[in-house]
Amino acid sequence: MSTFHILAASEAQELKLLANQQIVKYCRVAPAALWTLDYLLTFEHEVRLMTAKNRWTVTHALFLMTRYFPVIGFVCAIYDAITPHLQLSACFSLYKTTGCVLFFVMLATEGLLLLRTLALWHSQKFVKIFLITVYTLAVVAMFVCIVITISLNLNSICSASSSASSLSTASKIEWITAGMFISAALFELTAICFTLYQGVRLKGSNSLGNRNRLISALTHGNLMYACSLFATSIANIVFFILPIGDGWSGLLDVFQGVLHGVLASRILFSLREADKTAGAESVAVSDMQFASAVQMSVMRNDDA
């Protein structure tokens, strides 16, 4: 192959990489519009929730994290998109901030998923222990991944160098970041399986009475929540393990953070509405006690 053809192929590859990176920037900024729209539509519900005369629990903290931490993520993405040439120090700070925000958002959203799943298994001690163990292992794995990622040499990410060592380090960072989403996906898959199984068990019960509406909302909402998170986690894994030269890494990481917050708030508000309609006092959704559940006698009747 002549030198001309080699240069032409190299230039075409660089143009393709730049085009892909531009698409990634758009996809990292676009979730800001989704979050803003959802926030305006649900602000009234949030005010009612936060001004209710109920004691605050850990779930309130998790809800606020999933609601507002994504803002930090897409603000960093917007700053990166509108700043053509970041200084190395600014790039390091931006990358570490985004990584930490992603970890805390995933920690909170997976925690909400855990509490919602426990609400369907309130009387099952073994299931509680198992789900909490899986969640803890997933959080530890995500924490280790993010610590390793921000501890590596970020020059390969922030500099324009295309040396073999820089590309190798960048590829390693992408794989470790993918490990975060793999850990989250495994827990989400576990929650999906337990939700499906418990939903089938409760569906055949005739003793739930006016709690059917709330149980249905809890089961369907939890299933939609877990499946959406699982699908986005899988998509992120795929984009992070693609060759670094393709330029697709980080395509959906900001979107996943925003999606977590939107789904968490939407499903919470729908549960409160179902609780209000059904009048099921035994499930204190208005208190944000997701781990509360159907009366123990109902569960025992199902097992009988």
In the chain the domains, ranked by start, together with CATH numbers, are 20-303 (1.20.1070)
User: Which amino acid, one-letter code, is at 109?
Assistant: T
Q: In terms of Cα–Cα distance, which of 212, 227, 201, 231 is closest to 274?
A: 212
- Amino acid identity of 66? T
Tell which phi-psi region holds residue 91, choosing left (phi > 0), alpha (psi between -120 and 50) or beta. Answer: alpha
pLDDT in tens, 144-154: 999 988 887 66
Task: Give pLDDT tens digits for 166-214.
Answer: 667 777 888 888 899 999 999 999 999 998 888 787 776 655 555 566 6
| H-type alpha helices, 86-163 | 88-119, 125-151, 155-158
Give the pLDDT confidence score for residue 121 in this predicted structure. Answer: 81
Nearest to 130 by CA among 113, 112, 118, 144: 118
Residues 231-235: what's their mean pLDDT?
88
Query: Which range among 70-74, 116-120, 246-250 shows the weakest confidence by mean pLDDT?
Result: 246-250
Instruction: For residue 70, report the phi and psi dihedrals to the nearest 5 degrees.
Output: -60, -25
Across the chain, what does the average pLDDT equal?
A: 75
Number of H helices, E strands in the chain: 10, 0
Q: What's the pLDDT score for residue 220? A: 79
Give yes or no for residue 272 having a pLDDT over 90: no
pTM: 0.75
Distance CA 288, CA 298 (A): 21
Distance of alpha carbon 101 from alpha carbon 69, whole angstroms:
6
pLDDT at 283 (0 to 100): 42
Our measurement of the distance from residue 227's CA atom to the centroid of its chain's CA atoms, rounded to an integer in Å, reads: 11
> Is residue 19 over pLDDT 50?
yes
Q: How far apart are CA 78 and CA 70, in angstroms?
A: 12
